Amino acid sequence: MSRSPSGDRVALWRNPTFRAYVLQGVLLAALAALIGFIVVNTMANLEARGISTGFGFLDERAGFSIPQTLIEYSGDSTYGRTFVVGLLNTLLVSALGVVVATIIGFAVGIARLSPNWLLARLAGAYVEIFRNIPLLVQILFWYFAVLQALPSPRQSLSFLEIIFINVRGLVIPDPQPLSGFAATPWALLVGIVAAIALGIYAKRRQVRTGKALPIYWLGAGLIIGIPLVVFLLTGSPLEWSIPELTGFNFSGGVRVLPELVALWLALSIYTAAFIAEIVRSGIQSVPQGQVEAANALSLPGSITLRKVVIPQAMRVIVPQLTSQYLNLIKNSSLATAIGYPDLVAVFSGTTLNQTGQAIEIVAMTMAVYLTISLVVSALMNVYNARTLLKER
Amino acid sequence: ATLDDVKERGSLNCGVNVGLAGFSSPDSDGNWQGLDVETCRGIAAAIFGDPEKVEFTPLTAKERFTALQSGEIDVLSRNTTWTATRDNSLGLNFTVTTFYDGQGFMVDKDLGIESLEDLDGASICIQSGTTHELNLADYFPSRDIDINTVTFDTPDQTAQGFAHGRCDVLTSDTSQLSALRLQLPEPDSVEILETLISKEPLGPVVRQGDDQWLDIVQWSIFAMINAEEMGVNSDNVDEMRDNPPNPGVARLLGDDGNYGEQLGLSDDWAYNIIKGVGNYGEVFTATVGEDSPLGIKRGLNALWNEGGILYAPPIR
Amino acid sequence: MIEMKGLNKWYGDFHVLRDIDLTVKRGERIVVCGPSGSGKSTLIRCINHLESHQQGEIVVNGVAMTQDVKRIEQIRRNVGMVFQHFNLFPHLSVLENCCLSQIWVQKKPRAEVEKTAMEYLERVQIADQAYKYPGQLSGGQQQRVAIARALCMRPEVMLFDEPTSALDPEMIKEVLDVMVELAREGMTMLCVTHEMGFAKTVADRVIFMDQGQIIEEAPPETFFNNPRSERTKLFLSQILGH
Amino acid sequence: MIEMKGLNKWYGDFHVLRDIDLTVKRGERIVVCGPSGSGKSTLIRCINHLESHQQGEIVVNGVAMTQDVKRIEQIRRNVGMVFQHFNLFPHLSVLENCCLSQIWVQKKPRAEVEKTAMEYLERVQIADQAYKYPGQLSGGQQQRVAIARALCMRPEVMLFDEPTSALDPEMIKEVLDVMVELAREGMTMLCVTHEMGFAKTVADRVIFMDQGQIIEEAPPETFFNNPRSERTKLFLSQILGH
Amino acid sequence: MAGESMRDEMIEARRPPNAHRGVLKWLQRNLFNGPINSVVSVVTLGVLVWALWPFVQWALIQADWLGDSRQACSGEGACWVFISARFESIIYGFYPEAARWRVDIVFALMAGLLAWLAIPKVPGKRWAAIIAVIGFPIAAYVLLLGGHFGLMHVSTRNWGGLMLTLTVATIGIVGSLPIGIVLALGRRSKMPLVRAVSVVFIEFWRGVPLITVLFMASVMLPLFVPTEVEFDKLLRALVGIMLFWSAYMAEVVRGGLQAIPGGQEEAGKALGLNYWQRMGLIVLPQALKLVIPGIVNTFIALFKDTSLVLIIGLFDLLAIIRAGLTDSDWLGFATEGYVFAALVFWVFCFSMSRYSQYIEKRLQTGHTN
Ligand SMILES: Nc1ncnc2c1ncn2[C@@H]1O[C@H](COP(=O)(O)OP(=O)(O)OP(=O)(O)O)[C@@H](O)[C@H]1O
Ligand SMILES: Nc1ncnc2c1ncn2[C@@H]1O[C@H](COP(=O)(O)OP(=O)(O)OP(=O)(O)O)[C@@H](O)[C@H]1O
Ligand SMILES: [Mg+2]
Ligand SMILES: [Mg+2]
């Protein structure tokens, strides 16, 4: 190992390979020692304090209700189910937030570089305002601003008497699947698979023959068409529950909570300010020559942006964008401030209080966020790898 | 043992609420104030003879039990409801109820609500991390009343939600309702319903397995209640000690017997409490009662012989 | 084809083009040379409005240049440009680079576009690399792709801004060969270059610039063998010196 | 000065240097040429261990190259290198670029270091630009700074990796002039270049490489006028052709 | 064949035509160039006025400024009396009144040092840096904590308000940057284990919410360490914050490192510099400059996240204002409190953002290839 190409012996401690191994060995040992130390201590301390641990509490009856549940849930459900409900709510608002923040962020970031003075300044102001004010304050602002603007349930704004907007949220008709509906989701799945297969085929075909298929139209047709046909063939097994004002509130229909809207707005607008800065730096990293070349080809501005600038800026943008997505997801836990029932609110909030199993619950919460984050980074890394330039 | 740790450290670590009007909140100089806070000061006075030898650790609802379990604090005095689970399965012991509360409801006067049955279909604003959510889930479904809960993190956010019309009803401990009402733009437009749906006995908590420490906390509070019953207050305590009007006062203030020593404290422990923070009545009046903006009536928290249920074991 | 009259341009306070008058006829091949910083690039970049000028007129193929976006696009469609540093789009394959403008500007069907593109790629002898990415090609190959990309627009005029100076000596030849052939076919060309060999072979006229002005304008024989201005003589001695 | 024996190097499975034997004596000036990808850069980069080789020996100035960090540093201190793309440090001024290695490697006092640096900058006739940043200089100037920077280490050997091929024709002259002068002063030099004029003027020997091997090794007159291998003849015809 | 021509007289450089000067011209060029832009401009200005006017009226025109109790509040506009009555605690937290001069000194020192370091014209940067890195932390430690040289000891429990926010933010920023740099270098290391450890560290800290980290640090830490060990709570939070944000910083820096061409390192090698010299003198200065926007993004996020120290029971600026809202004498002034907090945070973050943009411009040393 320490033989050099020229054959003479090298002092062991000067050999870079040897050094590397020693350093790494020390690092590994230190890490193992630290983890061992923490584990041993925690065990001893838990023992000494007589604190019982375990995940048995997940099977106990929760006994409290949650205002927004994407799956069946009632006070009789278990804490385990509470966990799932909270998790789904977190995922919902995060997903919505990520989409909108990305859209606003790109728009503002691009606008900041616009030759239109007013637009550029407004975009700059947007960034400087929303980036520099604590998110909590912004969430509260949007929540109460949103609420303030809306009428009470009895004076609801209505659209065709089937959609209602009021201070309690947006109420829309709720589709109720009847028997036989189950075929439609399967058909949707088939449609998506078919569309992906078509995409792969089309790409191959294009490489081989140079001919392209209109894959977007065909794909959309497959994804929408197949389920639609199946839906109609099975006799349209769907019924709508129309909301109705009864007493205090609307019954029937699905309700979109104002908490969700406010949180979604606040998260999107706040994160978009950060994304805008990232997009700006990304675009500025694309060499000016690229835009000039596009101009020389007389490509219109929008095409230049979409086909030439943005794809190249993505290399710089994507890693930082990942961080912002993770931040958004984690920031969604500020939901507790306005009563949106996310994971932190219902699980490491209410459940923790009811059961007192802090260690387990905090550990589970951390694990969940960690998992979400790792999945997001993994996806973004895949995308990042695709944006990397093909070079020699 | 906890007492030794506390003595060695020279101060008591007491977990309190981050901010709850009347129970614990820091004033602009950082002096903690409120009923829960005075309880801690009383305990510190009993141990050290000095009510200021206490460090307050503000805790959120989520942290409170863990902080006590892990030893971050010696006693948790943070409007915590005494329930079987908490007492039995968390390795904790509740000591004495310092405040008898119950969950009540506040509604807009205009709605004309008279009983809880009228609340069918209503939205209810509630603060998370309390027993309130469980109480609602116990009470309404069993009576076939349909309600929607909207859960907030802190009391003032709950009040804001109610004020902005997010819900028809605000529910909380009655002690809180009066405070929350003051935060509304028009406090007179709402009313607090008579009906209470739960028992909420609030009191300090200690770790299980240290009986001496449990006794000290318990008896510090008993001393405050007994003092009120005997008419001993911070103004007259010196005089009472010098000329005890009766043997009960003499035992309380350490003129007779060695009750302090039995606890591991000095015999003038109760004197120190009353000298330092006053008797229960004084504390109540100043923090949540008539002399405070909250103006809560004594109600259940009056002495047993004055129409309430406050009843401390005798010192003898 | 191209007419410039009284063209003046400033960068801030710096007077970079001074009273330029130049007429290029259809099918003419012009080589522009001059010391570094003399405004050669700026001049040809004005022709497809990569730079805007402040005074004077430019008419390209009968279209007068104004600030109007439509007009500028119309002019650019007639003018192909090849940059010194190629400026290929690195995220697109060679073929896609060539198809881009036809698809988005001329809105032709993809199949047809790709056929045209392949033709031009063959013309520069690089059709076999069509599915590679620019980063996978050598400099000379990249520059040939850049030429093909510009040709795909079927421009009336081609502008070359030092198309060989970023290349290794061996690769220069590849590119010059292509340019010579284009010139033979009668393409109108304006070329900034120091390759005097090229100038001698194909140019109809050589233009020598210094300090933002056209100093001398002459057919190559006259220019190289019989330069009239002192400045030109000095410059030629340097270029041909080593 | 430099001795290579049985040098072999692979990139992965690709055999990039094959059985290279080469001896360079003190004060010798050697030009390396050959087609692109033939391993010229790799060869000279092995000399200061920017690339590590897998077989064979390299001895530089009496020091045998091993994996030993100290030895590598010792060798590098004796070998200056000038890169094709200059690789100046853009965040440091010209003077700081030149002082860096003396201050941190040779640990000399700053005043002395700056004096030496200014001397070398004068030598490459660029002392007046000492306080500018590289980004503010022309390519030729930048490459001269790069040479000065390497010289400041007072190396025994200078390696040049196509030092002029990133330059505009006018700037090539500046750099070649400096190199010619260095050669006259007797510096040991290894230079990868296609500037045949330079090779003819100053080289003691020309080495022609192809496919990772040394094909031909000869004094310039023989090499240019009387190449022995077919490969060399083909190559020379291309280079000198246009 | 086309004509020949030659110029004997050189044309003198002239001044550019005076086309674009003056306020009106400016307005025309920037706001009203074309019908669409004009409409956009007018509508935007209109919306701005429409949206801001009620706020201005509430916050300024109808506001109450003077007084010392809630009786001074008329209820028509904002009642800033709430802020002024609690102003001292908003600044100093619960720091004992008698010792507040110490806080003043520390922050005056910090402001002075920052100015010294930040304003390019002031000479002696090297000394400023030495003082900032060695002298100032010691001075700040001694002054703020006390307990030496006859200064009264002030426990970190009493720290709070803006002073705590600034302290935590400063230490967080100063601590997370170097750790982040080391992690970023580690992630690009050639040693698999070093790289693996860096990756795991970064992904872990980037993946968990800071709230849970602080929760662990504040109430669960005693479970992890032997019972005798005690850490100051603030210290625990600081360590948590530093580690957390260093992971973000590492990713930002990594982006910068990736953008530096390999030739730079090679040139460093050829000059005989060793690894740390190459990194410290060549690669990092360039990489960090490139990612200034990202670094500042992180600083700003960190600054605002100091609010989470509430979890360890300390009252930062935002928390102390919220605590004020629960003072039974001052119930119902939430809006004023939040608006004021937003304003203070904004001022600090905006200054950082602006200064960084200024630095970005200054560090431009001509374009690079
Ligand atoms: N954006 C700009 N702002 C200010 N000055 C500029 C700008 N672009 C170019 N210049 C200056 O204008 C002059 C002409 O530049 P141009 O690029 O046209 O020269 P050139 O003749 O093409 O030189 P080269 O042979 O080096 O490419 C130079 O002095 C240059 O410094
Ligand atoms: N990191 C690498 N991994 C794999 N192959 C490489 C690597 N670097 C260079 N090569 C290959 O090694 C061969 C020799 O490269 P080298 O750079 O030494 O050639 P060269 O003679 O300097 O060519 P040029 O004149 O183009 O600079 C080339 O075929 C190249 O593709
Ligand atoms: Mg040019
Ligand atoms: Mg090479």
DSSP assignment of C151-220 equals HHT--SEEEEESTTTTS-HHHHHHHHHHHHHHHHTT-EEEEE---HHHHHHH-SEEEEEETTEEEEEE-H
Higher pLDDT, C219 or E35: C219
B16–chain E Cβ distance below 8 A for any pair: no
The pLDDT value given to residue D240: 64
Handedness of CA E356, E359, E365, E366 (dihedral sign): positive
Of D54, D58, D66, the CB nearest to A10: D66
Tell me the chain E residues in contact with residue A129 when contact means C-beta distances shorter than 8 Å: 346
3-state secondary structure of C70: helix
Range of the domain at E285: 81-95+154-363
Q: Considering only CA atoms, which residue is closest to atom 3 of ligand 2?
A: D11
Q: Considering only CA atoms, which residue is closest to atom 7 of ligand 1?
A: C11
D17, D41, D54: residue to mutate for ligand 2 pocket, most atoms within 8 A of CB: D41
Is E183 contained in some domain? Answer: yes
pTM recorded for the entire structure: 0.83
Is E207 contained in some domain? Answer: yes
D9, D13, D14, D51: residue to mutate for ligand 2 pocket, most atoms within 8 A of CB: D14
Tell me the chain A residues in contact with residue E190 when contact means C-beta distances shorter than 8 Å: 20
How do strand D79-82 and strand D157-161 relate by DSSP bridges?
parallel
Is E46 contained in some domain? Answer: no
Q: What is the average per-residue pLDDT within E194-216?
A: 87
H or E stretch covering C32: strand C29-33
Phi, psi (rounded to 5 degrees) for B23: -105, -45
A176 CB contacts (<8 Å, ≥6 apart)?
A: A238, A239, A240, A241
CA E159 to chain centre: 20
D71–chain E Cβ distance below 8 A for any pair: no
Residue pair D72/D49 in contact by the 8 Å Cβ criterion: yes
Tell me the ligand closest to C167's alpha carbon: 2
Question: CATH code at E278?
Answer: 1.10.3720.10
Name all chains with 3 or more CB-CB pairs below 8 Å to chain B: A, E
Ligand 1 atom closest to residue C12's alpha carbon, by position in its atom list:
4
Percentage of residues in chain A having pLDDT higher than 70:
88
Of B62, B123, B147, the CB nearest to A349: B62
Tell me the C-alpha distance between D9 and C233, whole Å: 50
Q: What is the average per-residue pLDDT within D21-25?
A: 92
Q: What is the average per-residue pLDDT within A190-219?
A: 75
Tell me the C-alpha distance between B135 and B137, whole Å: 5
The pLDDT value given to residue A210: 52
Structure tokens at E35: 């019908």
| Cβ-based neighbour number of residue E21 at 10 Å | 8
> In the predicted model, is pLDDT for residue A221 greater than 50?
yes
Phi, psi (rounded to 5 degrees) for C30: -120, 135
> In the predicted model, is pLDDT for residue E324 greater than 50?
yes
Tell me the chain A residues in contact with residue B120 when contact means C-beta distances shorter than 8 Å: 247-248
- pLDDT profile of chain B (316 residues), mean per 10: 88 88 82 90 92 88 83 88 83 90 88 82 80 83 83 80 85 83 80 87 90 92 92 90 88 86 88 91 90 84 90 88
Closest CA in chain C for residue E15: C13
Tell me the C-alpha distance between A230 and A226, whole Å: 6
Tell me the chain B residues in contact with residue E221 when contact means C-beta distances shorter than 8 Å: 70
In B67-212, the DSSP E strands lie at 75-76, 92-94, 99-101, 103-108, 123-127, 148-152, 169-173, 190-192, 200-202, 205-207
Is A79-148+257-387 assigned to CATH 1.10.3720.10?
A: yes
CA E260 to chain centre: 26
Handedness of CA C47, C50, C51, C56 (dihedral sign): positive
- Residues within 5 A (CB) of ion ligand 4: D 41
Ligand 1 atom closest to residue C38's alpha carbon, by position in its atom list:
21
Which residues sit with their C-beta closer than 6 Å to ligand 1? C 11, 14, 16, 34, 36-42
- DSSP letter, residue E17: P
Which contacts of A4-7 are long-range, i.e. CB under 8 A and separated by 24 or more positions? A4/D65, A4/D66, A4/D67, A4/D68, A5/D53, A5/D54, A5/D55, A5/D56, A5/D57, A5/D65, A5/D66, A5/D67, A6/D56, A6/D57, A6/D58, A6/D59, A6/D64, A6/D65, A6/D66, A7/D57
Tell me the ligand closest to D161's alpha carbon: 4
Domain boundary assignment for chain A = 12-44, 79-148+257-387
Residue pair B43/B84 in contact by the 8 Å Cβ criterion: no
Tell me the C-alpha distance between C65 and C71, whole Å: 7
Tell me the C-alpha distance between A372 and A375, whole Å: 5
Hey, which of A44-58, B238-252, E141-155 has the most confident mean pLDDT? B238-252
Q: Considering only CA atoms, which residue is closest to atom 6 of ligand 2?
A: D11
Q: Which of A377, A342, A275 is nearest to A69 (CA)?
A: A342
Name all chains with 3 or more CB-CB pairs below 8 Å to chain A: B, C, D, E
Q: What is the pLDDT of residues E217-269, one digit of tens each?
A: 877 777 777 666 667 888 888 888 999 999 999 988 988 888 788 888 899 98
Phi, psi (rounded to 5 degrees) for B216: -60, -45
Structure tokens at A198: 């078509």
Tell me the ligand closest to D39's alpha carbon: 2
Domain count within chain E: 1
In E259-351, the DSSP E strands lie at 315-316
- Ligand 3 centroid to Cα of residue C208, in Å, is 13
B212–chain E Cβ distance below 8 A for any pair: no
Q: What is the pLDDT of residues D113-144, one digit of tens each?
A: 999 999 989 988 888 889 988 888 888 888 88
Q: Which of A47, A57, A97, A53 is nearest to A78 (CA)?
A: A57
Q: Please, what is the average pLDDT of chain A? A: 81
Which bin fits C139, alpha (ψ -120 to 50), beta or left (φ > 0)? alpha
> In the predicted model, is pLDDT for residue A279 greater than 60?
yes
C165/D35 Cβ within 8 A: no
3-state secondary structure of B200: strand
Question: Within chain D, what is the greatest distance between any pair of CA atoms?
Answer: 55
- pLDDT profile of chain C (242 residues), mean per 10: 91 88 92 88 91 90 85 89 89 91 83 89 88 85 91 91 79 84 90 86 91 91 88 80 52
- Ligand 2 centroid to Cα of residue E160, in Å, is 62
The pLDDT value given to residue A12: 65
The per-type count for chain E, helices as H runs and strands as E runs, is: 18, 3
D242/C194 Cβ within 8 A: no
Q: What angle do CA B74, B77, B78 make, to 5 degrees?
A: 130
D83/E267 Cβ within 8 A: yes
The pLDDT value given to residue A389: 63
Q: What is the pLDDT of residues B40-76, one digit of tens each?
A: 999 999 999 899 999 888 888 878 888 888 888 899 9
Q: Do at least 3 CB pairs under 8 Å connect D with A?
A: yes
Structure tokens at E354: 């602006």
Higher pLDDT, A224 or C214: C214
Compute the CA torsion angle E270, E273, E279, E281 (nearest 10 deg). Answer: -100
Ligand 1 atom closest to residue C34's alpha carbon, by position in its atom list:
21
Ligand 2 atom closest to residue D209's alpha carbon, by position in its atom list:
21
Structure tokens at B258: 């060695």
Tell me the C-alpha distance between E49 and E69, whole Å: 33
